[in-house]
Amino acid sequence: MRDTFRHVGDVVRVEWTREFSVRYDARSAAGYRTRVRQRGVQVEQSLRKTTGLRPDYGRLQQRVGEAVLDQKQGELARGFERALDTVADHFEAMP
């Protein structure tokens, strides 16, 4: 079930990683991970802050992520609907 929802978040993670690595930092972009939790699916940075020399770096990452999220809104909605259908089919098939 978690893998089904993880694929939905990967739509954003893959594009976010590509955008950020091309424009800013490939190492930092490699740290993005898709997490599935009770309250939803999140794409977040798994690497810890290393230098502290650029205090706006977190906001920069977030700004790029929000732009990707806006671009992928329709694809996310369709993917999430498919994921919900898959999970519902699984539970309906149980005896």
Element (H, E) at 4: helix 2-23
Task: Give the model's pLDDT for residue 87.
Answer: 86
37 phi/psi in degrees, rounded to 5 = -125, 175
Identify which of 13, 3, 5, 30 has the alpha carbon closest to the alpha carbon of residue 68: 13
Total structural domains within the chain:
1
pLDDT at 72 over 80: yes
The C-alpha angle 20, 25, 31, rounded to 5 degrees, equals 75
Quote the strand ranges of 10-94, DSSP E: 32-37, 40-45
Find the domain containing 35 and state its range: 2-93
Question: What are the pLDDT digits (tens) for 16-49?
Answer: 999 999 999 898 899 999 999 888 888 988 888 7
Instruction: Give the confidence band of 75 by pLDDT, cuts at 50, 70, 90.
Output: very high
Q: What is the pTM of this model?
A: 0.78
The Cα 57–Cα 63 span in angstroms is: 10
Mean pLDDT, the chain, whole residue set: 88
